[in-house]
Chain A
Protein backbone atom coordinates (compact mmCIF):
# COMPACT_ATOMS: atom_id res chain seq x y z
CA UNK A 1 0.00 0.00 0.00
CA UNK A 2 1.42 3.40 -0.95
CA UNK A 3 2.09 5.98 1.74
CA UNK A 4 -0.64 8.22 0.28
CA UNK A 5 -3.25 5.43 0.54
CA UNK A 6 -2.23 4.63 4.11
CA UNK A 7 -2.61 8.22 5.18
CA UNK A 8 -5.98 8.53 3.45
CA UNK A 9 -7.14 5.38 5.19
CA UNK A 10 -6.12 6.66 8.62
CA UNK A 11 -7.82 9.99 8.00
CA UNK A 12 -10.95 8.14 6.89
CA UNK A 13 -10.98 5.99 10.06
CA UNK A 14 -10.48 8.98 12.36
CA UNK A 15 -13.03 11.25 10.66
CA UNK A 16 -15.66 8.53 10.46
CA UNK A 17 -15.19 7.71 14.15
CA UNK A 18 -15.39 11.38 15.10
CA UNK A 19 -18.48 12.04 12.98
CA UNK A 20 -20.08 8.90 14.43
CA UNK A 21 -19.37 10.09 17.94
CA UNK A 22 -20.12 13.80 17.71
CA UNK A 23 -21.81 14.60 14.44
CA UNK A 24 -25.16 12.88 14.90
CA UNK A 25 -28.11 14.87 16.24
CA UNK A 26 -28.84 13.70 19.75
CA UNK A 27 -32.47 12.82 20.48
CA UNK A 28 -33.76 14.08 23.82
CA UNK A 29 -36.11 12.46 26.33
CA UNK A 30 -36.74 14.92 29.18
CA UNK A 31 -37.28 13.95 32.79
CA UNK A 32 -41.09 13.81 33.28
CA UNK A 33 -42.62 16.83 35.02
CA UNK A 34 -44.84 14.66 37.25
CA UNK A 35 -43.30 13.98 40.64
CA UNK A 36 -43.46 10.54 42.30
CA UNK A 37 -44.21 9.92 45.98
CA UNK A 38 -41.59 10.66 48.60
CA UNK A 39 -39.57 7.72 49.89
CA UNK A 40 -37.29 9.34 52.46
CA UNK A 41 -38.30 12.21 54.70
CA UNK A 42 -35.79 14.71 56.10
CA UNK A 43 -35.82 18.10 57.82
CA UNK A 44 -36.48 20.32 54.79
CA UNK A 45 -39.47 18.29 53.51
CA UNK A 46 -40.83 17.61 57.00
CA UNK A 47 -41.35 14.38 58.91
CA UNK A 48 -43.76 11.81 57.46
CA UNK A 49 -45.79 10.55 60.46
CA UNK A 50 -45.08 6.91 61.25
CA UNK A 51 -41.92 6.58 59.21
CA UNK A 52 -39.23 4.49 60.85
CA UNK A 53 -35.89 6.17 61.69
CA UNK A 54 -33.05 5.32 59.33
CA UNK A 55 -30.89 4.13 62.22
CA UNK A 56 -33.44 1.36 62.82
CA UNK A 57 -33.58 0.39 59.15
CA UNK A 58 -36.37 2.76 58.09
CA UNK A 59 -36.78 5.66 55.68
CA UNK A 60 -36.89 8.66 58.06
CA UNK A 61 -33.75 10.80 57.79
CA UNK A 62 -35.03 13.58 60.07
CA UNK A 63 -32.64 14.97 62.66
CA UNK A 64 -33.59 13.70 66.15
CA UNK A 65 -35.34 16.62 67.85
CA UNK A 66 -38.13 17.23 70.38
CA UNK A 67 -40.40 17.78 67.34
CA UNK A 68 -40.03 14.28 65.82
CA UNK A 69 -39.43 12.29 69.01
CA UNK A 70 -43.15 12.10 70.03
CA UNK A 71 -44.13 10.61 66.65
CA UNK A 72 -41.25 8.11 66.68
CA UNK A 73 -42.10 7.04 70.22
CA UNK A 74 -45.83 6.81 69.45
CA UNK A 75 -44.88 4.22 66.81
CA UNK A 76 -42.57 2.33 69.15
CA UNK A 77 -39.17 3.73 68.14
CA UNK A 78 -36.61 5.01 70.69
CA UNK A 79 -39.14 4.64 73.51
CA UNK A 80 -37.86 6.12 76.77
CA UNK A 81 -35.00 7.98 75.11
CA UNK A 82 -34.46 11.72 74.77
CA UNK A 83 -33.53 13.50 71.50
CA UNK A 84 -30.02 14.03 72.90
CA UNK A 85 -29.59 10.31 73.56
CA UNK A 86 -30.75 9.45 70.02
CA UNK A 87 -28.29 12.01 68.60
CA UNK A 88 -25.56 10.22 70.57
CA UNK A 89 -26.66 6.93 68.98
CA UNK A 90 -26.33 8.45 65.49
CA UNK A 91 -22.91 9.90 66.38
CA UNK A 92 -21.79 6.54 67.77
CA UNK A 93 -22.44 5.08 64.31
CA UNK A 94 -20.30 7.87 62.79
CA UNK A 95 -23.30 9.60 61.19
CA UNK A 96 -23.02 13.40 60.89
CA UNK A 97 -26.16 15.48 61.43
CA UNK A 98 -27.28 19.02 60.63
CA UNK A 99 -26.15 20.04 64.12
CA UNK A 100 -22.59 19.06 63.14
CA UNK A 101 -22.43 20.98 59.85
CA UNK A 102 -24.80 22.41 57.22
CA UNK A 103 -25.26 23.15 53.50
CA UNK A 104 -22.82 20.53 52.20
CA UNK A 105 -25.37 18.73 49.97
CA UNK A 106 -23.72 15.54 51.27
CA UNK A 107 -20.58 16.24 49.23
CA UNK A 108 -18.52 16.65 52.41
CA UNK A 109 -15.85 14.31 53.76
CA UNK A 110 -18.60 12.28 55.48
CA UNK A 111 -20.71 12.04 52.32
CA UNK A 112 -22.57 10.83 50.44
CA UNK A 113 -25.95 10.76 52.17
CA UNK A 114 -26.63 7.78 54.38
CA UNK A 115 -29.27 6.47 51.96
CA UNK A 116 -26.46 6.24 49.38
CA UNK A 117 -24.13 4.40 51.74
CA UNK A 118 -22.32 7.42 53.21
CA UNK A 119 -22.23 8.86 56.72
CA UNK A 120 -23.83 12.29 56.19
CA UNK A 121 -27.46 12.91 57.18
CA UNK A 122 -27.49 16.67 56.55
CA UNK A 123 -30.60 17.55 54.47
CA UNK A 124 -29.63 17.82 50.79
CA UNK A 125 -29.87 21.09 48.83
CA UNK A 126 -33.19 21.60 46.97
CA UNK A 127 -32.93 22.01 43.20
CA UNK A 128 -30.12 19.49 42.83
CA UNK A 129 -29.99 15.90 41.60
CA UNK A 130 -28.82 14.76 45.04
CA UNK A 131 -31.95 16.26 46.68
CA UNK A 132 -34.31 14.36 44.39
CA UNK A 133 -32.29 11.15 44.59
CA UNK A 134 -32.41 11.15 48.40
CA UNK A 135 -36.08 12.18 48.40
CA UNK A 136 -37.26 9.53 45.94
CA UNK A 137 -34.70 6.86 46.82
CA UNK A 138 -33.36 6.26 43.31
CA UNK A 139 -31.20 7.90 40.69
CA UNK A 140 -31.02 8.17 36.92
CA UNK A 141 -27.75 6.52 35.93
CA UNK A 142 -26.16 6.08 32.51
CA UNK A 143 -26.78 2.52 31.28
CA UNK A 144 -23.01 2.08 30.87
CA UNK A 145 -22.30 3.10 34.47
CA UNK A 146 -25.22 1.23 36.13
CA UNK A 147 -24.69 -1.98 38.13
CA UNK A 148 -25.37 -5.06 35.98
CA UNK A 149 -28.61 -6.07 37.72
CA UNK A 150 -30.24 -2.68 37.00
CA UNK A 151 -29.31 -2.30 33.33
CA UNK A 152 -32.86 -3.15 32.23
CA UNK A 153 -34.72 -0.79 34.62
CA UNK A 154 -35.88 1.71 31.99
CA UNK A 155 -37.41 4.86 33.48
CA UNK A 156 -41.03 5.86 32.91
CA UNK A 157 -41.67 8.86 30.67
CA UNK A 158 -44.87 9.76 32.58
CA UNK A 159 -43.81 9.91 36.24
CA UNK A 160 -40.27 10.87 37.22
CA UNK A 161 -38.10 8.44 39.18
CA UNK A 162 -40.36 5.46 38.46
CA UNK A 163 -39.73 2.41 36.33
CA UNK A 164 -41.58 2.12 33.02
CA UNK A 165 -44.24 -0.62 33.05
CA UNK A 166 -43.16 -3.69 31.10
CA UNK A 167 -44.91 -4.26 27.77
CA UNK A 168 -47.35 -7.19 27.95
CA UNK A 169 -46.43 -10.23 25.88
CA UNK A 170 -49.18 -11.62 23.62
Chain B
Protein backbone atom coordinates (compact mmCIF):
# COMPACT_ATOMS: atom_id res chain seq x y z
CA UNK B 1 0.00 0.00 0.00
CA UNK B 2 2.77 2.34 1.07
CA UNK B 3 4.74 1.53 -2.07
CA UNK B 4 1.72 2.38 -4.25
CA UNK B 5 1.36 5.79 -2.59
CA UNK B 6 5.07 6.34 -2.96
CA UNK B 7 4.99 5.55 -6.69
CA UNK B 8 1.93 7.77 -7.21
CA UNK B 9 3.57 10.70 -5.39
CA UNK B 10 6.78 10.18 -7.35
CA UNK B 11 5.03 10.38 -10.72
CA UNK B 12 2.92 13.31 -9.54
CA UNK B 13 6.00 15.33 -8.55
CA UNK B 14 7.89 14.35 -11.69
CA UNK B 15 5.05 15.39 -14.02
CA UNK B 16 4.47 18.74 -12.29
CA UNK B 17 8.20 19.55 -12.24
CA UNK B 18 8.61 18.58 -15.90
CA UNK B 19 5.64 20.74 -16.87
CA UNK B 20 7.04 23.69 -14.94
CA UNK B 21 10.52 23.33 -16.42
CA UNK B 22 9.33 22.76 -19.99
CA UNK B 23 7.10 25.84 -19.80
CA UNK B 24 3.84 24.05 -20.62
CA UNK B 25 2.11 25.82 -17.75
CA UNK B 26 0.81 29.21 -18.93
CA UNK B 27 3.08 32.02 -17.84
CA UNK B 28 2.00 34.55 -15.25
CA UNK B 29 2.21 38.32 -15.87
CA UNK B 30 5.16 38.37 -13.45
CA UNK B 31 7.09 35.90 -15.59
CA UNK B 32 6.36 37.84 -18.78
CA UNK B 33 7.36 41.08 -17.08
CA UNK B 34 10.62 39.64 -15.81
CA UNK B 35 11.45 38.55 -19.36
CA UNK B 36 10.82 42.09 -20.63
CA UNK B 37 7.69 41.02 -22.55
CA UNK B 38 5.62 43.87 -21.18
CA UNK B 39 2.67 43.85 -23.57
CA UNK B 40 2.26 40.09 -23.09
CA UNK B 41 2.41 40.69 -19.33
CA UNK B 42 -0.36 43.27 -19.77
CA UNK B 43 -2.52 40.82 -21.71
CA UNK B 44 -1.88 38.08 -19.15
CA UNK B 45 -2.78 40.51 -16.35
CA UNK B 46 -6.12 41.54 -17.87
CA UNK B 47 -8.14 38.51 -16.67
CA UNK B 48 -6.59 38.77 -13.20
CA UNK B 49 -7.70 42.37 -12.59
CA UNK B 50 -10.39 42.62 -9.90
CA UNK B 51 -13.59 44.00 -11.40
CA UNK B 52 -14.98 45.24 -8.12
CA UNK B 53 -13.50 48.64 -7.22
CA UNK B 54 -13.93 47.88 -3.53
CA UNK B 55 -11.60 44.86 -3.77
CA UNK B 56 -8.75 45.32 -1.26
CA UNK B 57 -6.07 44.90 -3.94
CA UNK B 58 -7.88 46.67 -6.79
CA UNK B 59 -5.41 49.59 -6.87
CA UNK B 60 -2.33 47.41 -6.47
CA UNK B 61 -3.30 45.24 -9.43
CA UNK B 62 -4.19 48.30 -11.55
CA UNK B 63 -0.79 49.84 -10.71
CA UNK B 64 1.01 46.71 -11.84
CA UNK B 65 -1.15 46.51 -14.94
CA UNK B 66 -0.31 50.16 -15.63
CA UNK B 67 3.40 49.37 -15.24
CA UNK B 68 3.10 46.74 -17.97
CA UNK B 69 1.36 49.29 -20.20
CA UNK B 70 3.95 52.01 -19.60
CA UNK B 71 6.99 49.79 -20.11
CA UNK B 72 5.31 48.25 -23.15
CA UNK B 73 4.73 51.64 -24.78
CA UNK B 74 0.94 51.74 -24.34
CA UNK B 75 0.90 55.28 -22.95
CA UNK B 76 -2.81 55.79 -23.46
CA UNK B 77 -3.62 52.94 -21.09
CA UNK B 78 -0.79 53.84 -18.67
CA UNK B 79 -2.05 57.42 -18.33
CA UNK B 80 -5.63 56.34 -17.61
CA UNK B 81 -4.55 53.57 -15.23
CA UNK B 82 -2.13 55.65 -13.17
CA UNK B 83 -4.54 58.57 -12.93
CA UNK B 84 -7.31 56.31 -11.63
CA UNK B 85 -4.94 54.58 -9.17
CA UNK B 86 -3.69 57.83 -7.69
CA UNK B 87 -7.26 59.04 -7.13
CA UNK B 88 -8.11 55.75 -5.39
CA UNK B 89 -4.99 55.91 -3.20
CA UNK B 90 -5.76 59.50 -2.22
CA UNK B 91 -9.30 58.50 -1.29
CA UNK B 92 -8.15 55.57 0.85
CA UNK B 93 -5.41 57.66 2.54
CA UNK B 94 -8.04 60.23 3.48
CA UNK B 95 -9.94 57.61 5.48
CA UNK B 96 -7.20 57.62 8.16
CA UNK B 97 -5.34 54.88 9.95
CA UNK B 98 -7.74 54.19 12.82
CA UNK B 99 -8.89 50.86 11.39
CA UNK B 100 -5.35 49.50 11.83
CA UNK B 101 -6.07 49.06 15.53
CA UNK B 102 -8.91 46.62 14.85
CA UNK B 103 -8.49 45.08 11.43
CA UNK B 104 -5.80 42.90 9.92
CA UNK B 105 -3.44 44.99 7.82
CA UNK B 106 -3.50 42.83 4.71
CA UNK B 107 -7.31 42.83 4.66
CA UNK B 108 -7.48 46.59 4.33
CA UNK B 109 -7.72 48.35 1.01
CA UNK B 110 -4.27 48.97 -0.47
CA UNK B 111 -3.30 52.63 -0.28
CA UNK B 112 0.40 52.59 -1.12
CA UNK B 113 3.36 54.28 0.55
CA UNK B 114 4.35 57.86 -0.34
CA UNK B 115 7.06 56.59 -2.71
CA UNK B 116 4.51 54.41 -4.53
CA UNK B 117 2.13 57.34 -4.89
CA UNK B 118 5.00 59.50 -6.11
CA UNK B 119 5.95 56.83 -8.68
CA UNK B 120 2.31 56.51 -9.76
CA UNK B 121 2.26 60.23 -10.57
CA UNK B 122 5.71 60.06 -12.16
CA UNK B 123 4.56 57.30 -14.52
CA UNK B 124 1.40 59.26 -15.24
CA UNK B 125 3.51 62.33 -16.05
CA UNK B 126 5.87 60.31 -18.21
CA UNK B 127 2.97 58.83 -20.18
CA UNK B 128 1.62 62.35 -20.69
CA UNK B 129 5.03 63.64 -21.78
CA UNK B 130 5.22 60.85 -24.32
CA UNK B 131 1.75 61.85 -25.45
CA UNK B 132 3.20 65.37 -26.05
CA UNK B 133 1.21 66.97 -23.25
CA UNK B 134 3.74 68.84 -21.03
CA UNK B 135 1.03 70.86 -19.26
CA UNK B 136 -0.78 67.82 -17.86
CA UNK B 137 2.57 66.06 -17.32
CA UNK B 138 3.73 68.95 -15.11
CA UNK B 139 0.60 68.58 -12.96
CA UNK B 140 1.50 64.92 -12.40
CA UNK B 141 5.15 65.60 -11.55
CA UNK B 142 4.13 68.32 -9.10
CA UNK B 143 1.67 65.90 -7.49
CA UNK B 144 4.54 63.38 -7.22
CA UNK B 145 6.56 65.97 -5.31
CA UNK B 146 3.63 66.56 -2.96
CA UNK B 147 3.30 62.78 -2.47
CA UNK B 148 6.97 62.59 -1.49
CA UNK B 149 6.26 65.11 1.28
CA UNK B 150 3.99 62.48 2.85
CA UNK B 151 7.13 60.57 3.90
CA UNK B 152 7.13 60.19 7.70
CA UNK B 153 10.60 61.36 8.62
CA UNK B 154 12.22 63.98 10.80
CA UNK B 155 14.76 64.76 8.09
CA UNK B 156 13.21 67.54 5.99
CA UNK B 157 15.52 66.63 3.09
CA UNK B 158 13.82 63.23 2.79
CA UNK B 159 10.42 64.81 2.21
CA UNK B 160 11.47 66.54 -0.98
CA UNK B 161 14.30 64.38 -2.31
CA UNK B 162 12.45 62.69 -5.18
CA UNK B 163 14.91 63.80 -7.86
CA UNK B 164 13.02 62.09 -10.74
CA UNK B 165 9.95 64.27 -10.25
CA UNK B 166 12.11 67.38 -9.80
CA UNK B 167 13.99 66.64 -13.03
CA UNK B 168 10.93 65.97 -15.16
CA UNK B 169 9.06 68.93 -13.63
CA UNK B 170 12.07 71.01 -14.68
CA UNK B 171 11.85 69.64 -18.22
CA UNK B 172 8.14 70.42 -18.38
CA UNK B 173 8.69 73.99 -17.15
CA UNK B 174 11.35 74.41 -19.81
CA UNK B 175 9.04 73.08 -22.51
CA UNK B 176 6.38 75.53 -21.29
CA UNK B 177 8.84 78.46 -21.54
CA UNK B 178 9.24 79.00 -17.79
CA UNK B 179 13.05 78.91 -17.50
CA UNK B 180 13.21 80.30 -13.95
CA UNK B 181 11.01 77.53 -12.55
CA UNK B 182 12.90 75.01 -14.69
CA UNK B 183 16.20 76.13 -13.20
CA UNK B 184 14.90 75.73 -9.64
CA UNK B 185 13.59 72.20 -10.25
CA UNK B 186 16.73 71.08 -12.10
CA UNK B 187 18.91 72.44 -9.30
CA UNK B 188 16.89 70.42 -6.76
CA UNK B 189 17.18 67.31 -8.94
CA UNK B 190 20.97 67.75 -9.00
CA UNK B 191 21.07 68.39 -5.26
CA UNK B 192 19.23 65.14 -4.43
CA UNK B 193 21.00 62.90 -6.95
CA UNK B 194 24.47 63.01 -8.47
CA UNK B 195 25.60 66.49 -9.48
CA UNK B 196 26.34 66.48 -13.19
CA UNK B 197 25.79 68.49 -16.35
CA UNK B 198 22.34 66.96 -17.03
CA UNK B 199 20.87 69.21 -14.33
CA UNK B 200 22.13 72.47 -15.81
CA UNK B 201 19.61 74.57 -17.68
CA UNK B 202 22.08 75.25 -20.50
CA UNK B 203 22.53 71.50 -21.04
CA UNK B 204 18.75 71.02 -21.12
CA UNK B 205 18.38 73.89 -23.57
CA UNK B 206 21.05 72.40 -25.83
CA UNK B 207 19.51 68.92 -25.77
CA UNK B 208 16.71 67.53 -27.90
CA UNK B 209 16.68 63.97 -26.46
CA UNK B 210 15.91 62.97 -22.87
CA UNK B 211 15.93 59.33 -21.79
CA UNK B 212 14.69 57.80 -18.58
CA UNK B 213 16.35 54.41 -18.12
CA UNK B 214 14.97 52.15 -15.40
CA UNK B 215 17.01 49.29 -14.06
CA UNK B 216 16.67 46.50 -11.52
CA UNK B 217 13.79 45.45 -9.28
CA UNK B 218 12.04 47.69 -6.81
CA UNK B 219 12.22 47.25 -3.04
CA UNK B 220 10.19 44.56 -1.25
CA UNK B 221 8.80 44.35 2.27
CA UNK B 222 9.11 41.73 4.98
CA UNK B 223 7.89 41.44 8.56
CA UNK B 224 9.77 40.92 11.80
CA UNK B 225 9.35 41.50 15.52
CA UNK B 226 6.56 40.45 17.90
CA UNK B 227 3.67 38.85 16.04
CA UNK B 228 5.29 39.88 12.73
CA UNK B 229 4.05 43.37 13.46
CA UNK B 230 7.05 45.31 12.19
CA UNK B 231 7.61 45.90 8.48
CA UNK B 232 10.99 46.49 6.91
CA UNK B 233 11.85 47.53 3.39
CA UNK B 234 14.51 45.47 1.62
CA UNK B 235 16.66 46.25 -1.37
CA UNK B 236 16.98 43.98 -4.39
CA UNK B 237 20.58 44.18 -5.53
CA UNK B 238 20.96 45.43 -9.09
CA UNK B 239 24.19 44.37 -10.79
CA UNK B 240 24.01 47.31 -13.22
CA UNK B 241 26.08 50.22 -11.92
CA UNK B 242 26.97 52.04 -15.12
CA UNK B 243 25.09 52.54 -18.41
CA UNK B 244 26.80 53.80 -21.55
CA UNK B 245 24.58 55.08 -24.35
CA UNK B 246 25.69 54.74 -27.97
CA UNK B 247 23.99 56.21 -31.02
CA UNK B 248 24.80 54.54 -34.37
CA UNK B 249 27.82 52.94 -32.70
CA UNK B 250 29.16 56.28 -31.40
CA UNK B 251 29.58 56.57 -27.65
CA UNK B 252 27.43 59.42 -26.33
CA UNK B 253 28.28 59.22 -22.64
CA UNK B 254 27.18 57.72 -19.39
CA UNK B 255 23.68 57.92 -17.93
CA UNK B 256 23.40 59.55 -14.50
CA UNK B 257 21.72 57.91 -11.52
CA UNK B 258 18.67 59.96 -10.59
CA UNK B 259 16.97 57.91 -7.88
CA UNK B 260 17.34 54.72 -5.90
CA UNK B 261 13.79 53.68 -5.03
CA UNK B 262 14.98 51.70 -2.02
CA UNK B 263 16.20 54.96 -0.48
CA UNK B 264 12.82 56.56 -1.24
CA UNK B 265 10.92 53.62 0.26
CA UNK B 266 13.22 53.32 3.28
CA UNK B 267 12.81 56.99 4.19
CA UNK B 268 9.21 56.37 5.28
CA UNK B 269 9.41 56.35 9.08
CA UNK B 270 7.32 55.39 12.09
CA UNK B 271 3.62 56.28 12.36
CA UNK B 272 0.58 55.82 14.60
CA UNK B 273 -0.39 52.73 12.65
CA UNK B 274 2.98 51.11 13.33
CA UNK B 275 2.68 51.79 17.07
CA UNK B 276 -0.82 50.26 17.12
CA UNK B 277 0.40 47.20 15.24
CA UNK B 278 3.41 46.78 17.54
CA UNK B 279 1.13 46.95 20.59
CA UNK B 280 -1.07 44.26 19.01
CA UNK B 281 2.02 42.15 18.29
CA UNK B 282 3.21 42.36 21.89
CA UNK B 283 -0.31 41.55 23.16
CA UNK B 284 -0.44 38.57 20.82
CA UNK B 285 2.85 37.18 22.17
CA UNK B 286 1.76 37.69 25.78
CA UNK B 287 -1.56 35.91 25.16
CA UNK B 288 0.22 33.07 23.35
CA UNK B 289 2.44 32.49 26.38
CA UNK B 290 -0.51 32.15 28.77
CA UNK B 291 -1.27 28.48 29.60
CA UNK B 292 -5.09 28.44 29.49
CA UNK B 293 -6.06 31.11 26.94
CA UNK B 294 -2.99 30.61 24.69
CA UNK B 295 -5.04 29.61 21.62
CA UNK B 296 -6.81 32.97 21.75
CA UNK B 297 -3.70 34.67 20.35
CA UNK B 298 -4.90 33.68 16.87
CA UNK B 299 -7.72 36.18 17.27
CA UNK B 300 -5.25 39.05 17.44
CA UNK B 301 -4.18 40.00 13.94
CA UNK B 302 -0.93 41.89 14.23
CA UNK B 303 0.97 40.98 11.04
CA UNK B 304 2.18 43.98 9.05
CA UNK B 305 1.13 44.72 5.50
CA UNK B 306 3.85 43.66 3.08
CA UNK B 307 1.97 44.48 -0.11
CA UNK B 308 4.11 46.54 -2.46
CA UNK B 309 4.00 47.61 -6.10
CA UNK B 310 6.08 44.79 -7.55
CA UNK B 311 6.90 46.06 -11.02
CA UNK B 312 8.81 49.17 -9.99
CA UNK B 313 12.47 49.50 -10.94
CA UNK B 314 15.29 49.70 -8.41
CA UNK B 315 17.21 52.58 -9.96
CA UNK B 316 16.27 55.39 -12.32
CA UNK B 317 18.90 56.87 -14.63
CA UNK B 318 18.73 59.73 -17.11
CA UNK B 319 20.64 60.72 -20.18
CA UNK B 320 20.20 63.84 -22.28
CA UNK B 321 21.93 65.22 -25.32
CA UNK B 322 21.54 66.61 -28.78
CA UNK B 323 21.16 64.13 -31.64
CA UNK B 324 20.74 64.83 -35.35
CA UNK B 325 17.17 64.56 -36.50
CA UNK B 326 16.47 61.37 -38.41
CA UNK B 327 16.61 57.67 -37.61
CA UNK B 328 19.25 56.11 -35.41
CA UNK B 329 20.24 52.87 -33.74
CA UNK B 330 20.30 53.36 -29.98
CA UNK B 331 22.20 50.97 -27.75
CA UNK B 332 22.68 50.79 -23.99
CA UNK B 333 25.74 48.95 -22.69
CA UNK B 334 25.70 47.96 -19.05
CA UNK B 335 28.56 47.43 -16.61
CA UNK B 336 28.79 46.32 -12.99
CA UNK B 337 30.47 48.17 -10.14
CA UNK B 338 33.88 46.70 -11.05
CA UNK B 339 33.51 47.87 -14.66
CA UNK B 340 32.83 44.36 -16.00
CA UNK B 341 30.53 44.28 -19.01
CA UNK B 342 27.06 42.77 -18.42
CA UNK B 343 26.06 41.80 -21.98
CA UNK B 344 22.77 40.18 -20.91
CA UNK B 345 21.49 43.62 -19.84
CA UNK B 346 22.50 45.40 -23.07
CA UNK B 347 19.80 46.68 -25.41
CA UNK B 348 19.78 47.86 -29.02
CA UNK B 349 16.87 49.61 -30.68
CA UNK B 350 16.61 50.27 -34.41
CA UNK B 351 15.12 53.15 -36.43
CA UNK B 352 14.66 55.33 -33.38
CA UNK B 353 13.16 58.57 -34.67
CA UNK B 354 14.62 61.86 -33.46
CA UNK B 355 12.45 64.81 -34.42
CA UNK B 356 14.09 68.18 -34.95
CA UNK B 357 10.97 70.21 -34.19
CA UNK B 358 10.18 68.83 -30.73
CA UNK B 359 11.62 67.49 -27.50
CA UNK B 360 12.17 63.73 -27.74
CA UNK B 361 11.45 62.01 -24.44
CA UNK B 362 11.83 58.25 -24.26
CA UNK B 363 11.91 55.64 -21.54
CA UNK B 364 13.65 52.26 -21.51
CA UNK B 365 13.57 49.38 -19.05
CA UNK B 366 16.64 47.21 -18.61
CA UNK B 367 15.74 43.59 -18.02
CA UNK B 368 18.35 40.80 -18.19
CA UNK B 369 18.11 38.62 -21.31
CA UNK B 370 15.40 40.86 -22.79
CA UNK B 371 17.16 40.80 -26.16
CA UNK B 372 18.58 37.31 -25.94
CA UNK B 373 17.98 35.43 -29.20
CA UNK B 374 19.28 32.06 -28.06
CA UNK B 375 16.60 29.38 -28.29
CA UNK B 376 14.49 31.74 -30.40
CA UNK B 377 13.24 31.47 -33.96
CA UNK B 378 12.01 34.06 -36.44
CA UNK B 379 8.31 34.01 -37.16
CA UNK B 380 6.63 36.31 -39.73
CA UNK B 381 4.18 38.71 -38.10
CA UNK B 382 1.35 37.29 -40.19
CA UNK B 383 1.90 33.86 -38.55
CA UNK B 384 1.86 35.14 -34.98
CA UNK B 385 -1.07 33.98 -32.92
CA UNK B 386 -3.06 36.82 -31.44
CA UNK B 387 -2.40 36.94 -27.71
CA UNK B 388 -5.98 37.71 -26.67
B residues less than 8 Å from A107 (CB atoms): 39, 42-43, 69, 72-74, 77
A30 close to B (CB within 8 Å): yes
Stretch at the interface among B144-152, B306-314, B350-358: B350-358
User: In whole angstroms, how far apart are the Cα atoms of A165 and B376 in the complex?
Assistant: 15
The CB with the most chain B CB atoms within 10 A, among A101, A117, A118, is that of A117
Chain A residues whose CB sits within 8 angstroms of the CB of B239 once the complex forms:
none
B-facing residues in A81-113 (Cβ within 8 Å) = 101-105, 107-108, 112-113
Contacts of A105 in B (CB 8 A): 39, 72-75
Chain B nearest CB: distance from A6 CB in Å? 6
Which residues of chain B are within 8 angstroms of A162 by Cβ–Cβ distance? 378
Interface of B, secondary structure class, is mixed
Given contacts A105-B73, A131-B73, is CB(A146)–CB(B374) below 8 Å? no
Structural contact, B364 and A127, CB atoms closer than 8 A: yes
Chain A neighbourhood of B374, CB < 8 A: 27-29
User: Nearest B residue to A128 by beta-carbon distance?
Assistant: B73
Residues of B near A101 (CB, < 8 A) are 76
**Complex contacts, B331 vs chain A, CB 8 Å:** 33
CB distance from A99 to the nearest CB of B (A): 14
* A138 contacts B73, C-beta separation under 8 Å: no
Q: Which of B13, B23, B362 contacts A127 (CB 8 A)?
A: B362
What residues of B have a CB within 8 angstroms of the CB of A104 in the complex? 74-77
Q: Which of A1-55 contact B (CB under 8 A)?
A: 1, 6, 9-10, 13-14, 17, 20-21, 26-33, 35, 38, 44-45
Contact residues, B299-357 vs A (CB, 8 A):
327, 329-331, 343-344, 346, 348-353
Structural contact, B39 and A150, CB atoms closer than 8 A: no
Residue in B closest to A136 when the chains form the complex, CB atoms: B350
| Range for the number of chain B residues in contact with chain A | 35 or more
Q: Any chain A CB within 8 A of the CB of B381?
A: yes
Whether a CB of chain A sits under 8 angstroms from the CB of B54 is no
Select which of B3, B375, B380 is within 8 A of A138 by beta carbon. B380
Q: Is the CB of B76 within 8 A of A108?
A: yes
B236 at the interface (CB under 8 A from A): no
Return chain B residues, CB-CB under 8 Å to A72. Answer: none
- Evaluate whether A21 and B73 lie within 8 angstroms (CB atoms) in the complex, with A127-B349, A137-B381, A160-B350 already known: no
CB-contact partner of B380 in A102, A112, A137, under 8 A: A137
- Interface pair B377/A146, CB less than 8 Å apart: yes
Is A163 close to B, CB under 8 A?
A: yes
Nearest residue (CB) in B for A26 is B369
Please give, as numbers and ranges, the residues of chain B lying within 8 Å of A116 by CB-CB distance: 381-382, 384, 386
Nearest to B73 among chain A residues (CB) is A125
Inter-chain CA distance A20–B249, complex, in Å, is 38
**Contact at B74–A132, with CB atoms within 8 Å?**
no
B77 CB → nearest A CB, Å: 7
User: Is A141 an interface residue, CB under 8 A from the partner?
Assistant: yes
User: Are the CB atoms of B73 and A108 closer together than 8 Å?
Assistant: no
Interface residue? B21 (CB, 8 A): yes
CA distance A129 to B372 in the complex (A): 12
The answer to whether B75 touches A125 (Cβ under 8 A) is: yes
Assess whether B383 is interfacial by the CB under 8 Å rule.
Answer: yes
For B351, list chain A residues within 8 Å (CB).
Answer: 35, 38, 45, 126, 131-132, 135
A10–B379 touching, CB < 8 Å: no
Q: How far is the CB of A145 from chain B (nearest CB, A)?
A: 8
Whether a CB of chain A sits under 8 angstroms from the CB of B221 is no
Q: How far is the CA of A59 from the CA of B77 in the complex (A)?
A: 27
B6 touches A6 (CB 8 A): yes
User: Is B200 engaged at the interface, CB distance under 8 Å to the other chain?
Assistant: no
What is the minimal beta-carbon distance from B81 to any residue of chain A, in angstroms? 12
Whether B99 is near chain A, meaning CB under 8 Å from some CB there, is no
CA distance A151 to B376 in the complex (A): 9
**In angstroms, how far is the closest chain A Cβ from the Cβ of B367?**
11
Known: A1-B6, A30-B372. A161 touches B343 (CB 8 A): no
Give bound CA distance, A131 to B202, whole Å: 33
Assess whether A65 is interfacial by the CB under 8 Å rule: no
Task: Establish whether residues B383 and A140, one from each chain, have CB atoms under 8 Å apart when the complex forms.
Answer: no
Cβ-defined contact, A31 with B386, below 8 A: no
Please tell me if B371 contacts chain A, counting CB pairs below 8 Å.
Answer: yes
Asked if residues A127 and B330 are in contact (CB atoms below 8 Å), the reply is yes
Tell me, rounded to whole Å, the shortest Cβ–Cβ distance linking B2 to chain A: 8
Contact with A along B1-40 (1 / 0, CB 8 A): 0010010011001100100111100000000000001110
Q: List 7 A-B contacts (CB under 8 A).
A: A30-B343, A104-B75, A116-B382, A127-B330, A141-B376, A144-B22, A147-B383
Contacts A126-B349, A139-B384 given; 8 further ones with Cβ under 8 A? A21-B21, A107-B42, A113-B381, A117-B382, A141-B384, A154-B377, A155-B373, A155-B377
Q: Which residues of B contact A (CB under 8 A)?
A: 3, 6, 9-10, 13-14, 17, 20-23, 37-39, 42-43, 69, 72-77, 130-131, 249, 327, 329-331, 343-344, 346, 348-353, 362-364, 369, 371-387
The 7 closest A-B pairs by CB, nearest first: A125-B73, A105-B73, A35-B350, A29-B374, A128-B73, A31-B371, A107-B74
